[in-house]
Chain A
Amino acid sequence: MDDLMLNQFLLLGAILFATGVYGVLAKKNAVLVLMSIELILNAVNINLVAFGAHNGTIVGSVFALFVIAVAAAEVGVGLAIVLLIYRNRKSVDLDEVAQMKG
């Protein structure tokens, strides 16, 4: 894979990452936020794979696999929390969830 290709992958990663960040910060819905986190993680995954391919190693791909696995777990836990919140408050609006306020 040459440099041009790498750049495009990185660009894609950056876009996905930015979108994800936007989602995490701006969305009120907890589910959307979780999805945005997924976007961020996958942006990273793209980068890892792209670098791995660029350097001719499989380390990147291995890392990406790990990330996917962790992300799956994370989404699982995250959705469970969201579900519980919804049950308690009948809402998944993050602005209202401020029990952790010190």
Chain B
Amino acid sequence: MDFIQDWGLTAMVFAPLVGVALMMLFPRDAEETHKLIAMVASLVTAGIGIAVFAEFDFDQSGTLQLVRDHAWIDVINARYEIAIDGLSVPLIALTLLITPLVIAYSWNHFPEPHNPKAFLALILVLHTGMLGTFVAQDLILFFVFFEVVLLPMYFMIGVWGGPERQYAAIKFFLYTLFGSALMILSFLALFFLTGAETFSMTGLAEEVQAADIARGTQILVFGGMFMGFGIKVPMFPFHTWLPDAHTQAPTQGSVILAAVLLKLGTYGFIRVALPILPEGAEAWAPWIGLLAVIGIIYGALGCLAQTDMKRLIAFSSVAHMGYVMLGISTLTDFGLNAAVFGMVAHGLITGMLFFIAGSIKERFHTLEIKRLGGLLVQAPRMGWILGFCTMASLGLPGLAGFWGEFPAILSAYQPMEGLPVETFRTYMVVAAIGTVFAAGYLLWLYQRTAFGTPSEEFEHDENIHDVETPEWVAWVPLLALILVLGVYPNLVFQVTDDSIVNVATSIAAAVGAGG
């Protein structure tokens, strides 16, 4: 279908905004209508997404497809250039999946202060931002979408968050904005340094090669991007916004934050930073790897010290994203593939964990680990699901988490030629040790929350019930995917592989040619 070929992506990206516009027509107290509109909008978006994927030629997943290239801001030669390839497809799919699930979960889980209209509208705006980031092929467009995401999230945390919401929201916002500022500086530097005066990603990659920018300059420019993306990931030591944001955000916010928002950073590395600045990437790789493994161990140790369940899960993100970054830092196709898989897996698993944390909070009105216990007795199904997710999160083979972790560790044994092998092998061992810690904090969490008998405080609490319908609707797809991807990881690998091989070979070629 030509329409899909030409306008499918655009329709997909902006469909949620149509929903928002519709919602504006109805008064605030028409809650059911708002829910319905939001749900339909997200489902329509997903539907268009499916049509897009049907149109997408998976045999050619290495090349950009469904390209749309229009003039946009002529003055700075920024273009409305969107397209997808094997790298973006899994992440778009993840986004398309998560948003409807979050809306379904919201059905009867609106955080205080209620106001579904605003809440759902923000989710939809967020949706557009996330999808846009994954399809953009122009740096300015990318940047705009990247920033569009910030504001809804800021309001979600700041309005619907926990007691410390103001602090967390501002921290989140400023942190990310700080990174963005450096990032846009880097983009501008590229714009001028190459002399090509273009923001097109594909174009820039070639221009940088042609322009023969000095290595030192590349390293500096990469540094700017590193800050922008690294904060978003978040990498140690720029991670401290994450636990606060997660802990304070409403469940839906945490889920979206963990499932998709963090991936914007890692996606940015693979999509923007590495291909455009291969030499910078090579110079930075050992340091990125170092920060990644520090993050792995550090995040895990941080988890062990947490007393709040949600904060613990948030900290575990630091460790998990460490594996993703370790994969990226090897600059090999193996590692990058692992990173993409790790993103998807982390999105599913940690998203799921935050859902559960939200539901526990709703029932127990606390997430303090000490006070919980015996979940398996009071809500056995939820306890099982929590067990399943902790297992997945600790990287159990056969579940999705493993396929992000194992190949990443594997790839560190043999990083790209030119990178210090011994250093990376050390990273490999440290990362492997990290798996023990992961098992440690997750199982310990599970033991303290699910095992044992309920504490006296909650023993006869009527409010504590097992999983209910909206929760099932939201969770089952995630749980199923965690299992399916774990058993048959090729579903993701075969899509990403071609694009990733392209990226890796271009880096290797560029570094080989330059150095």
Q: Are A and B direct contacts in the complex by CB distance below 8 Å?
A: no
Binding site for A on B (CB under 8 A): none
Binding site for B on A (CB under 8 A): none
